[in-house]
């Protein structure tokens, strides 16, 4: 049953947002194997579990769709309900990240499509596709595909721009989700806010380090 109240919609946003944060953490944990020469083994391990991979993919499609849908619904409702003076007052009190959640979310969504086309469906540069090259163990060469892609300065800059948007989105979104779930006590919320900011920045550094290291030629097999 879909929520019909503003509170219910915000709760869906909070829960789906936290689920996506967990996915973002798991995704970078797997991708970080590139620094240890284990990316191909990690990718092969995932492909050996097709049921799990597709279950996660289908779940994320539902989660992301709900998050985007209710983000737009709440945005339209807020724009229609706020008097102009109240809106200006709230903008003075809010942060840059909070005021631009729709835009950073749009950047992330656009990048997600590009990312899937490049590395999952391998459509953008078929000549470097993992399925077209095998490593010494006979596995699809995911490392070669990722390295050749992100060693291009233009592609690396697209990734850095997108993970910056992710950082800003998570910076506001993590603390906002805890607040929506009622975990915003006078004593606890300052720690939640700081913890959320640190987590968002940590994920930014983790994601940004991969294109930076590859573009700089610092990652070897």
Question: 23 in a domain, yes or no?
Answer: yes
Cβ-contact 99, 106 below 8 angstroms? no
Backbone torsions φ then ψ of 134, nearest 5 degrees: -115, 145
Question: 58 in a domain, yes or no?
Answer: yes
CA atoms of 106 and 165, how far apart (whole Å): 9
The list of the chain residues with pLDDT below 70 reads: 1-2, 81-93
Residue 76's domain comprises: 6-215
CA atoms of 193 and 176, how far apart (whole Å): 9
Question: 220 in a domain, yes or no?
Answer: no
Res 86: pLDDT:
52
Question: 221 in a domain, yes or no?
Answer: no
Res 13: pLDDT:
93
Question: 137 in a domain, yes or no?
Answer: yes
Number of domains present in the structure of the chain: 1
Res 219: pLDDT:
83
Res 7: pLDDT:
85
**pTM of this prediction?**
0.89
Question: 153 in a domain, yes or no?
Answer: yes
Question: 36 in a domain, yes or no?
Answer: yes
Residue 151 sits in a domain whose CATH number is 1.20.1300.10
Res 89: pLDDT:
47
Question: 98 in a domain, yes or no?
Answer: yes
């Amino acid at each position: 049953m879909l929520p019909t109240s503003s509170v219910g919609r915000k709760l869906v946003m909070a829960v789906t947002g936290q689920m996506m944060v967990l996915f973002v953490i798991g995704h970078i944990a797997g991708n970080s194997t590139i620094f240890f020469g284990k990316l191909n083994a990690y990718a092969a391990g995932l492909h050996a579990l097709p049921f799990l991979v597709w279950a996660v993919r289908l779940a994320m499609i539902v989660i992301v769709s709900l998050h985007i849908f209710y983000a737009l619904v709440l945005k339209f409702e807020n724009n229609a309900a706020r008097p102009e003076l109240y809106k200006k007052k709230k903008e003075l009190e809010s942060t840059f990240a909070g005021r631009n959640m729709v835009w950073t979310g749009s950047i992330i969504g656009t990048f997600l499509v590009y990312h899937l086309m490049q590395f999952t469906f391998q459509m953008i540069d078929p000549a470097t596709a993992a399925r077209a090259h095998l490593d010494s163990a006979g596995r699809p060469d995911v490392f070669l595909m990722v390295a050749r892609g992100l060693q291009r300065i233009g592609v690396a800059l697209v990734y850095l721009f997108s993970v910056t948007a992710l950082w800003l989105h998570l910076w506001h979104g993590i603390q906002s989700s805890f607040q929506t779930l009622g975990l915003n006590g006078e004593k606890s919320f300052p720690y939640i806010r700081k913890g959320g900011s640190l987590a968002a920045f940590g994920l930014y550094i983790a994601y940004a380090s991969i294109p930076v290291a590859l573009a700089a030629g610092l990652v070897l097999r």
